[in-house]
Structure 1
Amino acid sequence: MRFSSLRAGQSALLAASGALTVFAFAPVRAFALMWLGLAVLFILTGRATTAKRAAWQGYVWGLGYFCANIYWIFISLHTFGGMPAWMAAGCVFLLAMYLALFPALGAWLGHRAGTTRFWRTAIALPSAFILSEWLRGWLFTGFPWASVGTSQLPMTPLAGFAPVLGVYGVGLVLAISVGLLAALPRKPAVWAGVLGAWLAGWGLWHVQWTHPVGAPVSVSLAQGAIPQDEKWAQEHYLDNLRIYLHLTRQAKGDIVILPETAIPSFLTDTPDWYLDYLRAAVEPRALVTGVPLTGKHKDEYYNSVMLLTDDKTPIYSKHHLVPFGEFVPVPALFGWMYHYLNMPLDGFTPGAAKQAPFVIGQTTRLAPNICYEDVYGREIINALPQATLLVNVSNLAWFDGSWAAWQQTQMSQARALETGRWMLRATNTGMTAIIDEKGQLIKVLPERQRGVLEGMAQNRAGETPYARWGDWMALALGGFLWLLAGFFGRKHQARTSQTIV
């Protein structure tokens, strides 16, 4: 009875410590809670008697972690998608159960590699955890939401590692730091080593990896604040067009940007007079807007961004589509969901992985990304080094009332750090923001407030190490540390066995 109670208590502690990490991310940004959550995970899995037990502990921690960090999906499925509450909650829990497999895998791999408690807790578990997190962001198109490294950006000294190793590298330094302190909390040398690593991050933060190009440009980012239940309603169509036309006429910037699907109809179905009014409102300045496009073939259409004021009408079409939102993975298995969902557009066609930035004026090379594409650091760098400015256009009204917009803005801050580029965010309901190359929020428009965010942005050129190498350096370092833990752990075990004999 006492043993089962102990296990139940450990499981509760693991799930709770995983769930508390939601406060480490924006908008709360209590980043130290991620240290606490990882410490609980590494200490308990490090003490596990078997790799199987460690995997189960990692799974329980992951369930708490993902249920807390992706709860907002329930809002899109139930409130706006029309799915019954019990079914929407079940779908979110099923997704959390799948995502929890990755920390479970990390715990299992870490326990197998580190044959002594020190090497397990300090090195093997932290490095395997980050490797499994990268796998989560890649497998089956990936879902890298709430990567542990993001929770530290841009507030902590670890932000300096982002332009070099990316978010997974930041997460690796964090995880190893926590693992070392958890394994040997009373060793001054360990504290000195961790402090040295964090001071190195602080030093790297002051390195200028990219350089300004030309004078700053004025930008206007429109936020229509159109509720999701009105955005695609036919009776509100003309009102929605008028809202963004009015905001465009208010805009003062040389580059005016409207959010994802600001025009809520295919371009071919949009009145010509409306497009003419939009152009007339800004010329000779530039206007970038989100608009769905039809393709050359039947059932081919794209979630796109267009430079409407350019005679050549350059287009960026979303490459990384949202599973279940923009396409159905394995329709034979998951097609039933659409009987319960009210989705205005689905079955999009993905755009090319690499697309040319928009050329605006003499210096600006604007690289758009749409919706949650900015959570994929490895894909954002496809626009570099040509792009001098990044822009994300989104419609997060699907998740109104949640922290999803804040969390995604923090990921945009991570992308700015990784690339050494300013990131502009134009969204329908928030967070519309201007972010500099250090990941700092320069200006933000309050959520659900209709208006235009006016500001300046600096074009930048050059390549950060991360822009050149992507995630490979962090993966190589994590893999090396995992192997190192296995080597020295087994060596120590063999030496101990010989001593006993």
Structure 2
Amino acid sequence: MTRALFLEAPATSRGPLPWLLALGAGLAQAASLAWPGPGSLAGQPLWWLQILSLALLGRVLLGAGSARRAALLGWLFATSWLVGTFWWLFISMHTYGGLAAPLAALAVLALALFLASYYAAVSALFWRVAPNCRAQAAMIFAALWLLAELARGQWWTGFPWGAGGYAHADGPLAVLARSVGVYGMGFVAAALAMGLARWRLADLRRWRWWAGLALLLLAWAGLAWQRHCAVEGCGAPAEEHKSLSVTLLQGNIPQDEKFQPGSGVPLALHWYYEQVRFTDAALVVAPETAIPLLPQQLVPGYLEEIAERFSSGRQALLLGIPLGNLEQGYTNSVLGFAPGQQPPYRYDKHHLVPFGEFIPPFFRWFTEMMNIPLGDFNRGAVGQPSLPWAGERIAPNICYEDLFGEELGARFRDPASAPTIMANMSNIGWFGDTVAIDQHLAISRLRALEFERPMLRATNTGATAVIDHRARVTHRLPAFQRKALNAQVQGRGGAVTPYAWWVSRWGLAPLWALGLGLAAWAWLRRRRH
């Protein structure tokens, strides 16, 4: 039957143009997360490109002509977006994992195709149920897109790298982070994109369009002022802490040598030992698996000397190291040494990387084709306590755990024990000198926006940086240099953000309810008509 919604849409094209547009829009979506080109924009998120690329998909879907065609166009868009976002997984599997190049490329494509199926499904559903009203259609598209993003971020342990909201770490939608988080930002961006997709020049002559624009601007101004008052205090002193001196260590141990006993292992043991011995910072942070051996494999006295070094005085250390044994299993962990901290503080990584840190059911044959050391870890608990030190509560997270704000948020349920500083300890040397470094920096910046807490990043190869509670990068080391970053960080306490409040209690359930509720309303409305 004829759909009134699409009367204003472009006529369905029988040629290759819609497919080329969907492909190009998906690649533009990937580029919006961290611009891969040269120049001053290199590595920066581009919020406007994210909205424009999604709007282009919206135009293509409006002219799809059938639900099946809409699904295929959405699938093509999402596949090109995801391959363009995490193509660097090829490096980890082929260059460092030893998997044959064709198989590594096929594995990246297969992962993208699987995750893109969520977006294919919602593209088809949007074509079927979207109402004629432009505002309602924009909300329905946003709700369905939100459901696809949530499914990608949570199902099958979740792989949300490259979610659209990360393009808005800068830009006007950043004010939403403290209230609705990265997925809520993606919801608003999708609504704006569909509104743009259906925009016509004739709309400028309609008072309703101008009234809607005025309401949007007023809402944005109100949120911006609210965030300004929360962050700056608006005359009332915010609960800012004294500056804390920090040293963030970047060992730059080549990934193909990192676990080699004749090269990377002695280099790491010597360099990190020398750094922690002579620094005078109040807090020293070394990256994930900075010590690439289990404690029982170390030279006797090595770890004990480090513990003794930080058992008195005014300094503390967070050190990435694997722990465990064959009988009890292994963990990717952080040990914290500080005066009066007995036994040492311990944090065990909870959200493990599939195929890198745990083996999914029925896929052991795949991991056995690669050479990845310690590839099957045990999980730590959600909401582990912070390290109390120098009047701060320092909450570590390991590598891509900082993609899961809903899990980090579990620590914020009680404001009295909520983190005042977050610390991400990573090794993404697995992915080479690629845009993955800048993408991960943007992810950490988004967490700083959501929780309004500074984020320290200590990494093996980059990006080692200090991010303040406004998500500004105040200090950063060049990637792929063996250096120590000396800086100051100012912790934040007091009331938690609205996002931290609700996500610590209900996780992402409110966003699931929003998406499912709007989708159900659209489906029932279509059935009645």
TM-score norm. by structure 2 comes to: 0.86
Aligned residue number for residue 464 of structure 2: 432
Aligned to 1:216, the other structure's residue is in SS state strand
Alpha carbons 2:135, 2:195 under 8 Å: kept: no
Distance in 1 between the 2:524 and 2:196 partners?
21
Matches within 5 A, 1:229-244: 229-236=256-263, 237-244=265-272
Q: Give the counterpart of 2:402 among 351, 360, 374.
A: 374
Matches within 5 A, 1:301-316: 301-309=330-338, 310-316=341-347
Matches within 5 A, 1:141-160: 141-153=157-169, 155-160=170-175
Q: Give the counterpart of 1:221 among 248, 253, 260.
A: 248
> Could you give the per-residue CA deviations for residues 278-332 of structure 1, whole angstroms, max 9, x where no partner exists?
345555210110111105x7151100001134322110000111000011101xx
Amino acid at match of 2:66: T
Please say if 1:22 is aligned against 2:30. Answer: yes
Aligned residue number for residue 320 of structure 1: 351
Amino acid at match of 2:184: G
Distance in 1 between the 2:103 and 2:19 partners?
26
Please say if 1:38 is aligned against 2:54. Answer: yes
Q: Which moved more, 1:320-329 or 1:464-473?
A: 464-473
Matches within 5 A, 1:25-424: 25-26=33-34, 27-116=43-132, 118=134, 121-153=137-169, 155-186=170-201, 187=203, 188-189=209-210, 190-208=212-230, 211-236=238-263, 237-279=265-307, 281-282=309-310, 283-284=312-313, 285-294=315-324, 298=327, 300-309=329-338, 310-330=341-361, 333-361=362-390, 363-384=391-412, 385=415, 386=417, 387-424=419-456
- In the TM superposition, residue 340 of structure 1 has moved relative to its aligned partner by 2.3
Aligned residue number for residue 455 of structure 1: 487
Aligned to 1:128, the other structure's residue is in SS state helix
Aligned to 1:430, the other structure's residue is in SS state coil
Amino acid at match of 2:324: T
- In the TM superposition, residue 136 of structure 1 has moved relative to its aligned partner by 0.8
- Structure with greater contact order relative to length (CA < 8 Å, sep ≥ 6): 1
User: Aligned in 2, Cα 1:28/1:214: closer, same or farther, shift over 3 Å?
Assistant: closer
Distance in 2 between the 1:185 and 1:473 partners?
34
- In the TM superposition, residue 442 of structure 1 has moved relative to its aligned partner by 1.1
Please say if 1:467 is aligned against 2:500. Answer: yes
> Could you give the per-residue CA deviations for residues 244-293 of structure 1, whole angstroms, max 9, x where no partner exists?
11222343310111110111101222224322443455552101101111
**How many residues are aligned here?**
485
Distance in 1 between the 2:138 and 2:71 partners?
17
- In the TM superposition, residue 197 of structure 1 has moved relative to its aligned partner by 4.4
Amino acid at match of 1:324: F
Amino acid at match of 2:253: I
Aligned to 2:466, the other structure's residue is in SS state strand
Structure 1 gaps, min length 5: 495-501
Alpha carbons 2:61, 2:127 under 8 Å: kept: yes
Alpha carbons 1:116, 1:489 under 8 Å: kept: no
Q: Which moved more, 1:110-119 or 1:221-230?
A: 110-119
TM-score norm. by structure 1 comes to: 0.91
Alpha carbons 2:138, 2:191 under 8 Å: kept: yes
